[in-house]
Amino acid sequence: MPVFNTVNTLDYGLIGLYFVIIIWVGIYAARQNKNTDEYFKGGGHIPWIIAGLSNWVSGYSAFMFVAAAGFTYLNGIGAAVIFTSAFWAYLVGYAIFGKLWRRARLSSPLHFLTRRFSPSTTYFYSITAIIPQIVGIGQGLYILCIFISTALGFNERTFDLGFAVVSGFELSIILVGTVMVVYSVIGGLWAAVLSDTVQAIIITVMTLIIFPLSFFYLGEGGGFMAGFTRLLNEAPADYFKLSGDTAKPLFLLAYLINVMLGYNVSWALVQRYMSVADERDTKKMALLCAFFSVFGPLLWILPVMGSRIIFPDMNALWPSFAVPAEASFVSLALMLLPHGLIGFVVSAILSATLGQANDAFNWLSATITRDMYVPLKKRWFGDEPSDKSQLRVARLTMFIVGGLGVWVALYIPKLGGAFQFALQFYSLTAAFMMPVALGILYRRTPWWSGIASCSAAVITGLTLMMLGVWKEDAFARNMISESIAALVVFFGSAYWFNQDDPKHAELRKFEKDLRTPAFGEGEHLQASSLKAYALIGKICLIIGLVLIASVFTPSTPIAPAWLNIIAGAMCTTLGVAILYLTRGQHESREESAS
């Protein structure tokens, strides 16, 4: 039976320190939020590196280390095909979608629907998106708490709260959900992208360390390559071939459609493309994300494949989990990492998932505030609400949606494993994004085509699901049938397109904007960008020094404390480099000004 280093007092202290850092980031972000434009899209001044890392890590949260790790443990190398497929989507974003979204000149992500289709389409999407987003937030929280309750070592315990007795897993959902709501309400988009960048750094450092450690452990003293050889020799049959779902062409096609939509027209990504200075930065951002979408997953996919040999019976290790394989990466981290690193790893994955929830909160509250509350108040009362009033509505929206997401997370364990639930969820909600992708690429359809094609896709997916058609491949069924329905109705509606229709006046302006390059004016690197880089540098320096100091903590032969020095040195070096480069830029600006 392996020995796991569950979180101890030191790790709790480091988790506390990490949240102090996050609060520091929130306070900094709050100072940037002088108005709703800053709150919802960073005023268009977020540096492309920070926006890119934020976007990458927001899709690289606990889902990857829990649900996707479970899929990898069971299916082998096919996971590499699945979980690096975002690379191709980001290349399409580099060539097409990035510049179009920046040229769209939107005040909120769903403002696109008003400009391309009609205000009615925005209302339709806003209302119908609320429930899927609540379910999505609950799903992310549920997956995260599998990791958290396991790492903290109280998954099997029960707690009496006075009004109810809950399991350790349920308590983690309640506590983390509360932090998630408060964190999201305070900081807006600046808080999300800055904390995401810190998480990206810590997660990369962690996986760079776990990757070689896993294979040294597998090698049993024979070295790194001996570990690879052992994996090749002892892995199950077909572990290095496409098998299971990954061997099904229709599944791969459906997953590719899902990825292309999720990484090019998701509202959170649209918000990132809106937040950078100009369309040149969207290209840089997309290329950065493409690189990390291959490099990042391979750093955890190969160790998780090795865990199939290290932990051959996950059911015996984690009998309480619906899918014990989903604890495979967590088990590696708890066995191979020393105290200190464990504390920061738990914090980073916790905060990464909170950042993912923040993305959902931010665009949804932006939509309800700017695309529903503001126009309705103007229509009913004749005046536009103040920025202060809009911020109150946005924060109240985040609070309500977050509370409902916590409630959903408590019920997800009854619905099966995290990965299968995620596939079902995304396959049903993808119908909402198909008209978005079609609408920005082809604009010769009437104002009602978005509602019609989305409705056709949703009705098709739900009908096939209720009838039980092809239920053994529900993900492929939903994705492919909804895509076909949306395509047929969308392009079929072009027959009724009338360019001179008064309802297409905004569409004509929108098309003109899409033909007009969105290049920034004046100085490209804003003072706020320099301050953001400097803040990231200081945080890296603090984390690095604390990790180096953790070398004096108790350790085991498998997880020696000196690993903290390696991780700390990496963070410290990065922090010093960022501060040095930032200071050089600041001095150059001062010299130019004088």
Listing DSSP states for 37-84 in one string gives HHHHHGGG---HHHHHHHHHHHTSSHHIIIIIHHHHHHHTTHHHHHHT
DSSP conformational letter for 470: T
Between 91 and 272, name the one with better pLDDT: 91
Distance CA 518, CA 98 (A): 11
Q: What is the mean pLDDT of residues 319-331?
A: 81
Q: What is the pLDDT of residues 462-509, one digit of tens each?
A: 899 889 888 888 888 889 999 999 999 999 999 999 988 888 999 999
Return all residues near 301 (Cβ < 8 A) that are at least 6 apart: 72, 79, 80, 83
Distance CA 55, CA 71 (A): 23
Domain boundaries, position 578: 9-377+408-593
Please give the structure tokens belonging to residue 553: 């903590």
Q: What is the pLDDT at residue 526?
A: 56
The answer to which of 50-59, 306-315, 488-497 has the lowest mean pLDDT is 50-59
For residue 16, give the nearest of 338, 351, 354 by alpha carbon. Answer: 351
For residue 261, give the nearest of 130, 97, 123, 116 by alpha carbon. Answer: 97
Q: What is the pLDDT of residues 564-585, one digit of tens each?
A: 999 999 999 999 998 888 775 5
Q: What is the pLDDT at residue 34?
A: 56
Position 354 in a domain:
yes
Position 302 in a domain:
yes
Are 181 and 398 in contact by the 8 Å Cβ rule? The answer is yes
Q: What is the mean pLDDT of residues 47-54?
A: 82
Return all residues near 381 (Cβ < 8 A) that are at least 6 apart: none
Collapsing DSSP to helix, strand or coil, 110 comes out as coil
Q: Nearest 5°: CA angle at 455, between 454 and 458? A: 85
**SS3 string of 80-124?**
HHHHCCHHHHHHHHHHHHHHHHHHCCCCCCCHHHHHHCCHHHHHH
How deeply is 137 buried, as exposed, middle or buried, from its count of CB atoms within 10 A (0-12, 13-18, 19+)?
buried
Please give the structure tokens belonging to residue 544: 């690095």
CA dihedral angle for residue 222, residue 224, residue 225, residue 231, rounded to 10 degrees: 90
Element (DSSP H or E) covering residue 507: helix 505-515
The answer to which of 337-341, 385-389, 442-446, 494-498 has the lowest mean pLDDT is 385-389
Position 392 in a domain:
no
Q: Indicate the number of domains in the chain.
A: 1
pLDDT confidence of 593, banded at 50, 70, 90? very low
Distance CA 268, CA 265 (A): 8
Return all residues near 62 (Cβ < 8 A) that are at least 6 apart: 140, 143, 144, 146, 147, 349, 350, 352, 353
Label residue 478 left, alpha or beta by phi (over 0 means left) and psi (-120 to 50 means alpha): alpha
Q: What is the mean pLDDT of residues 335-342?
A: 90
Position 522 in a domain:
yes
Return the percentage of the chain with pLDDT > 90, whole number. 32
Position 373 in a domain:
yes
Distance of CA 136 to the CA centre of its chain: 11
> Is the per-residue pLDDT at 214 higher than 90?
yes
Are 406 and 173 in contact by the 8 Å Cβ rule? The answer is yes
CATH code (residue 500)? 1.20.1730.10
pLDDT confidence of 84, banded at 50, 70, 90? very high
Please give the structure tokens belonging to residue 425: 């969820």
At residue 165, φ and ψ (nearest 5 deg) are: -105, 125
Q: What is the pLDDT at residue 39?
A: 53
Residue with tokens 């996986």: 207
Distance of CA 317 to the CA centre of its chain: 29
Q: What is the pLDDT at residue 431?
A: 75
Q: What is the mean pLDDT of residues 224-238?
A: 92
Position 389 in a domain:
no
Position 403 in a domain:
no
Are 119 and 374 in contact by the 8 Å Cβ rule? The answer is no
Where are any strands of DSSP class E within 445-523? Answer: none
Exposure class string for 391-404: b at 16+ Cβ within 10 A, else e? bebbbebbbebbeb
> Is the per-residue pLDDT at 52 higher than 60?
yes
Position 386 in a domain:
no
